[in-house]
Amino acid sequence: MRYNRKEIQKEKGNTMSEKKIIGSYADLAPNSAYELVYEEYLGDIKTAGIILRHRKSGARVCLMANDDENKMFCAAFKTPPSNSTGVPHIIEHSVLNGSKNYPSRDPFMALAKSSLQTFLNAMTFPDKTIYPVASCNDKDFRNLMHVYMDSVFYPNIYKSKFTFMQEGWHYELDSADDELRINGVVYSEMKGAMSSPEGIIDDEINLHLQPDTTYGVNSGGDPEVIPELSYEEFLNFHRTFYHPSNSYIFVYGNCDMDERLRFMDEEYLSNFDEIDFRPEIRPQPRWNSKEPRYCRSVYDGGESDDLEGKAFFAFNTMAGSSLDVLEKRACDVLSTVLVNSDFAPVKTALVNAGIGEDIYGGFSGHMLENTFSVIVKNAKEEDLGSFVDIVRDTLAKEVEKGINEKAIRAALNVAEFNFREANYGGFPKGLDYCINILQSWLYDDSAAFTYLHFLDDIEKLKGLIGTGYYEDIVRKYILDSNHTMILTLVPEKGLTDRKNRELAEKLAEYKKGLAPKEIGRIVSEAKALREYQSMPPTEEELNCIPYLERSDISPETVPFFNEEKTVAGVKTVFHDVDTNGITYANLYFDFGKLPHKYVPYAGLLMAVLGRVDTEKRSFEDLSIDISLNTGSLTFEPCIIGKYGAADGYRAFFGIKMRVLSDKVAYAAETSAEILTSSKLDDRTRLKAIIAEVKSEKQREIMFSGSSVAAARTRSYFSKTGCLNEQLGGIEFYQFVSDLLENFDDRYDELKENLIKTKNFIFDPSNAILSLAADETGCRAVEENLPALMGALEGLDREYLGEPEEYVPVCRNEGVIIASRVQYVARSGNMRKAGFKPSGVLNVVKNSVDIDYLYQQIRVKGGAYGCGCSIAADSGNVSFTSFRDPNLKETDEVYSKIGEFVRNYEADETEMTKGVIGAFSKFDRPMSSVQKAARSFAAYISGVTYEDVVRERSEMLGITLEQFRETAAVFDEIYSQGYRCTVGSSKIREVPELFDNIIVLD
């Protein structure tokens, strides 16, 4: 894929010849079990798209044939719920717990442990449930598909109630005298998800905006309603919705489609007869009123007494149908242009009026009808009226004067750049297409491919600029809306504690009303569940999941692409990868000598640079211009550990450019402008940015509590850990909170320190360039780098003090946040204790995660997630749990990892499975930009290709003895004793675990 008009034409020109690929499937259709419904060559993604119908069962099948080795299969079902018991979500978890041909208690985890999968998951949406898997290995792909088909059509949920109890909810009662409690995986997961206002606001919006539709209930499950779900209703949901007639099946990539179709027909689909079941999803009837409806909900305000300025406001309207694709794309553009970007007038107007600390929203999709929202976080309740007026007035003004055309072009440019770059991170491309297809196919059988004509739509949308088209959308769906809802979400102090108390009372009351016989039944059911969970797997269970051989894997792997060069006098590491005409130029500055008091300001610079006015341009214009001319231009720190050292690192701050080769000059000039003439003394703007940063960090602590807690533990013993805390951890969050609270007092210091820090960091004598580009791009960098370096040379640098060494201090903290669950972490360093990381540990980690932690913390403990991480460079090891109802129990589980490893039993087959699964984390397809980043990190840290091959050989050759010998590592890590838990006030119940307890708000 290349980025110019000519190439687009050529792609289209190729269409005819590539259409031949389709021929074979179409030819096969008349005599086969399938009939062809329609087919189309999808030029934008170079894929033959074919829609088939399975004759006997009525299953819908979508084939996407292309040369992508990362093959993907997905079974999807339309599953609109009618209540908030979370039944679609609990089914999603449960069907992967054993099926007819794979009677193991947990085939999903068996695959996670033993497959070379590149993606393995299942997801519940508001109106559909999808089961996607992907792999680059053909044999593995067939195994995965087999297990997934078996799971969705023949799950073992009918055979016993245990899966429902474990994944959904169950009573916990050890003996008749104990307190009655409720636990379950989805129950805990949703408790965690609904702990924060950000986690509930989307559900609350849909509940009040579309109350008469399936979107008005919570498909994930409301913890207060989940216990209303009975086993029988649970089974009925599967019986009704998981029939091929209600299915959407995808096969994607470079695989033998004929053979895959035959397999699906013979093994599964032909066993079913088509039924007349078409769950209908109805649109929300409009209220036909110009007057908005006002609604109000509460969220947990935690322990704090200060609830002032913590309200959320949301302005919401219904928009158009998901089937109008062009309009949906226009809506996406408008979301950026009007609400979400730095140049968005709605955001600017609200910020200027001092309403709230963070503004986001726009049009949302993945439902039959789109909705529009503007959400404001941390506002004062009395500002509600002004909020509504400002949103309306600003949009009315925009429509009247015409929406900024340059801004629309900028948003379209970024969308097009991202599409052509096709960097999906770790996500399989096939899955991205599949989710796009379901945006229309789920509601219209004839519209499977409408979302895949991306480039044509972008051209059309460019043509519609200046015609009034965009303004009409705003008028139609927002200003003239006859269905508007204004939501206020306010904090209530101790809401969670109150709810927990109420639940405990309700359960105690319920228990009181039970006859001794019924109590006895609950005790024995809970006991039976624990016994079922603790039973060692049978031979049959162990051996039912197919797996690969060690010989299917090579110790050789993707090489590093590093060539040392000098470009315009700057030390350069060049990465020779195919970049499709894009130049990735990352100019890094080593800031290892920056005195520590300035490090948090470096963390802040990431959010400030490029987002304040320069001498030449306002920040809005700057932001539009950058979007119009580049894929992105950002300024961010990058910390790389030294390979083989317990605690060495290099700290860089990067200017990161993603541009077409002819825009390199633009990016270099703009970087110089930002770094030499940014107005770092714009009081109002700085305050707005800092409020936003605080809000983002808050969200991170709430949604990624495990990584936040683990990072905190590493700061107790590692210098790198200390640096990361200052740059972006809890310490940084406290720094930002304090700045915001005492803004006026600290303003002068803030302004001065930002400038000093910036000038210190961007020192040309500390620069190193990481470059991936074609010849034109390289030449452009060579030509434009000197001017940028010259400009930085002229910055006014002053002496900030001697470089310092971090001295880690062990604090062992409990960090209380407004949450109903815990994130429990422990860490330590193995190198300091004399252990050397080896490939063997990667295989052990795989078993510790799946055979031990998962069983103890998720299956038995009811937490949503858990895992251990081992860093090969530093030797840091961390154990974490995610959305965990427990704390002390989880820490006890960590204490016995060594014992588990020491007593590990496995025959050759089991060992091999563990080896294969461990490789799946390493052998994932990489985009060019990922290859370049991996290569640069290796260059800096000092890892060689030989190191990697040695580690892989160690993984491949692991023996049971070697496995067990690593037990000492886990004992050592636990005994080092570094621990931190982020979570609810439950932390206070285990004071023995913590030296300090702090409260974050």
Residue 562 token pair: 């590093």
Instruction: Tell me the closest approach of the beta carbon of residue 71 to Zn ion, in angstroms.
Output: 25
Token match 């008009």: residue?
A: 5
Q: Which is nearer to Zn ion, 92 or 357 (CB)?
A: 92
Instruction: Tell me the closest approach of the beta carbon of residue 186 to Zn ion, in angstroms.
Output: 6
Nearest to 587 by CA among 708, 675, 490: 675
Nearest to 736 by CA among 710, 700, 698: 698
Largest Cα span, the chain:
85
Instruction: Tell me the closest approach of the beta carbon of residue 89 to Zn ion, in angstroms.
Output: 6
Instruction: Tell me the closest approach of the beta carbon of residue 123 to Zn ion, in angstroms.
Output: 8
Q: Which is nearer to Zn ion, 220 or 302 (CB)?
A: 220
Instruction: Tell me the closest approach of the beta carbon of residue 779 to Zn ion, in angstroms.
Output: 50
Q: Which is nearer to Zn ion, 189 or 204 (CB)?
A: 189
Q: Residues 866, 889: contact at Cβ < 8 Å?
A: no
Q: Which is nearer to Zn ion, 189 or 358 (CB)?
A: 189
Q: Which is nearer to Zn ion, 95 or 693 (CB)?
A: 95
Nearest to 316 by CA among 381, 391, 403, 386: 391
Torsion of CA 616, 619, 621, 626, to 10 degrees: 100
Q: Which is nearer to Zn ion, 225 or 326 (CB)?
A: 225
Q: Which is nearer to Zn ion, 193 or 691 (CB)?
A: 193
Q: Which is nearer to Zn ion, 184 or 362 (CB)?
A: 184
- Cα–Cα distance measured from residue 363 to residue 317, given in angstroms and rounded to the nearest whole number: 9
Ordered alpha helix ranges (H), 249-383: 257-267, 325-334, 345-352
Nearest to 198 by CA among 385, 378, 387: 378
**Left, alpha or beta for 981 (phi > 0: left; psi -120 to 50: alpha)?**
beta
Which residues lie below 8 Å from residue 55, measured CB to CB, with a gap of 6+? 33, 34, 35
Q: Which is nearer to Zn ion, 108 or 250 (CB)?
A: 108
Q: Which is nearer to Zn ion, 123 or 833 (CB)?
A: 123
Q: Which is nearer to Zn ion, 435 or 690 (CB)?
A: 435
Instruction: Tell me the closest approach of the beta carbon of residue 674 to Zn ion, in angstroms.
Output: 42
Torsion of CA 533, 538, 544, 547, to 10 degrees: 90
Instruction: Tell me the closest approach of the beta carbon of residue 820 to Zn ion, in angstroms.
Output: 16
Q: Which is nearer to Zn ion, 813 or 849 (CB)?
A: 849
Ordered alpha helix ranges (H), 154-288: 162-163, 185-193, 197-209, 231-241, 257-267
Q: Which is nearer to Zn ion, 99 or 129 (CB)?
A: 129
Q: Which is nearer to Zn ion, 190 or 672 (CB)?
A: 190
- Cα–Cα distance measured from residue 806 to residue 802, given in angstroms and rounded to the nearest whole number: 13
Instruction: Tell me the closest approach of the beta carbon of residue 920 to Zn ion, in angstroms.
Output: 21
Strands (E) located in 762-812: 767-772
Q: 3-state class of 764 per DSSP?
A: helix
Which residue number places its CB atom closest to Zn ion? 189
Which residues lie below 8 Å from residue 30, measured CB to CB, with a gap of 6+? none
Cα 118–chain centre separation: 16
Residue 946 Cα distances to 121, 497, 557, 574, 770, angstroms: 33, 55, 10, 20, 22
Strands (E) located in 670-805: 767-772
Instruction: Tell me the closest approach of the beta carbon of residue 886 to Zn ion, in angstroms.
Output: 18
Instruction: Tell me the closest approach of the beta carbon of residue 92 to Zn ion, in angstroms.
Output: 7
Which pairs from 232-238 meet CB under 8 Å and 24+ separation?
A: 233/85, 233/87, 234/87, 234/90, 234/91, 234/94, 234/157, 234/164, 234/168, 235/157, 235/158, 237/79, 237/87, 237/88, 237/91, 238/91, 238/95, 238/155, 238/157
- Cα–Cα distance measured from residue 739 to residue 694, given in angstroms and rounded to the nearest whole number: 10
What count of Cα atoms within 13 Å lies in the side-chain half-sphere of residue 953? 7
Instruction: Tell me the closest approach of the beta carbon of residue 222 to Zn ion, in angstroms.
Output: 14
Backbone phi, psi, residue 376, to 5°: -120, 135
Q: Which is nearer to Zn ion, 189 or 884 (CB)?
A: 189
The strand order across the sheet containing 293-300 reads 293-300, 484-492, 311-321, 369-379, 358-364
Instruction: Tell me the closest approach of the beta carbon of residue 86 to Zn ion, in angstroms.
Output: 9
Q: Which is nearer to Zn ion, 192 or 302 (CB)?
A: 192
Instruction: Tell me the closest approach of the beta carbon of residue 706 to Zn ion, in angstroms.
Output: 16
Q: Which is nearer to Zn ion, 189 or 971 (CB)?
A: 189
Instruction: Tell me the closest approach of the beta carbon of residue 370 to Zn ion, in angstroms.
Output: 25
What count of Cα atoms within 13 Å lies in the side-chain half-sphere of residue 589? 23
- Cα–Cα distance measured from residue 437 to residue 127, given in angstroms and rounded to the nearest whole number: 14
Instruction: Tell me the closest approach of the beta carbon of residue 888 to Zn ion, in angstroms.
Output: 25
What count of Cα atoms within 13 Å lies in the side-chain half-sphere of residue 329? 24
Give Rg (Cα) of the chain.
Answer: 29
Amino acid 372 reads F
Q: Which is nearer to Zn ion, 189 or 342 (CB)?
A: 189
- Cα–Cα distance measured from residue 38 to residue 29, given in angstroms and rounded to the nearest whole number: 11
Instruction: Tell me the closest approach of the beta carbon of residue 701 to Zn ion, in angstroms.
Output: 21
Backbone phi, psi, residue 528, to 5°: -60, -40
Under the rule (CB under 5 A), what is the footprint of Zn ion?
A: 189
Count of residues making up the chain: 1001
Instruction: Tell me the closest approach of the beta carbon of residue 863 to Zn ion, in angstroms.
Output: 12
Q: Which residues pair with 312 in a beta bridge?
A: 489
